[in-house]
Amino acid sequence: MLAVVPNKGVAEDFGIDDPYKELKRTLLRKGIPTQMMQKSTVDEIVGQKAGIGNDKFLNALSAVVAKVGGTPWQIDSLPGKTDAFMGLDVTYDESSEQHAGASASVVLADGTTFAAESTTQQGGEKFSARHVEQFVRDLVFDFAGEQGRDIDRLCIMRDGKISEDIDAVREGLSGIEAEIDIVGIRKSGQPRIAEFDGTRFRIAEKGVGFVDADRSQSIIHAFGKPEIHDDNPVGTPRTFRLTKDSGPTDVETLTRQAYWLSEIHFGSPVRSPRLPVPIEYADMAAEYVREEYVSPGTVIEGPAYI
């Protein structure tokens, strides 16, 4: 459902609670994804007679395509032999220092958004192998089987330090016959890549990676110039570190895969995200469960939750 809604805060002028979240939640629970557009945005698009070159119009179009189950664009030829990528996000409650939930999303090698699932955990419960088993069963093999697809090689992308919960991840994958790569993706506090021309250093632009094969690590510039301007207030570029834990795919190929997966986000014509979409979408699925748009343990087919 495409809906034009009042600008944020307008509902308060009439003494009522903003129905935005409740409307979105109710419709999604009935299997109806929504794309909400504020009235001021619609007025601007109509007033400018905006076409495909307008960022707001293009972003709205791509979101509508995604929410009805489509993928606005795909990767023509992803390096390597990987059939699917599963992003794994484990949520911690910092106040209690306990696990609060886990979520995962699966993206196919061409960038098609496959499915997602998120769980919540009881107080004191630890992230365990059964969560990984559940995600792999529900998101990879059951769903792939319904689509008539074979998964011969799967890449697990763990958000954060790959060493955290790695034993649980490995145990949860122990019954899988497919080849498996396990990598960690970290965005906080990562260095930038620079080129020295003999006189000074020049910060690399977006799309540049540095691979340290000896340590099975790499740094990727997934966001920056020329996508953003020199006056960008948040700085340029933004990077992430990929660390390979295990698997048959070499770290350079994994790095190239991670970069292209950071480009295939549904909103990429306007602004690409910083992280590969399997992790980005897993985090979004967790947010939908927290906001009670869907129940924990529900398999969300396609990208309706984005």
Does an H or E element contain 252, and which? Answer: helix 251-263
What local confidence, expressed as pLDDT, does residue 231 receive? 53
Q: Average pLDDT in the 112-137 region?
A: 75
Mean pLDDT on 79-89: 91
CATH 3.30.420.10 domain span(s) along the chain: 84-301
Whether the predicted pLDDT of 91 surpasses 90: no
- Give the span between the Cα atoms of 216 and 218, in whole angstroms: 7
Q: Which two tokens stand for residue 138?
A: 């529900």
Other CB atoms within a 10 A radius of the CB of residue 61 amount to: 15
Q: Has residue 153 got a pLDDT over 90?
A: yes
Question: Which of 36-45, 228-237, 273-282 shows the lowest per-residue confidence on average (mean pLDDT)?
Answer: 228-237
Whether the predicted model's global pTM rises above the 0.75 cut: yes
Mean pLDDT of 179-193: 87
Lowest mean per-residue pLDDT among 61-65, 96-100, 103-107, 165-169: 96-100
- pLDDT band, very low/low/confident/very high, at 82 (cuts 50, 70, 90): very high
3-state secondary structure of 49: coil
Mean pLDDT of 127-151: 78
pLDDT of 290 over the 80 cut: no
Q: Of 135 and 267, which is predicted with more confidence?
A: 135
**Mean pLDDT of all residues in 1-29:** 78
Q: Taking a C-beta distance cutoff of 8 angstroms, is the pair 30, 63 a contact? A: no
CB-based contact 137:176 (threshold 8 Å): no
CATH numeric code, 84-301: 3.30.420.10
pLDDT at 303: 66
What number is the average pLDDT over the span 64-79? Answer: 81
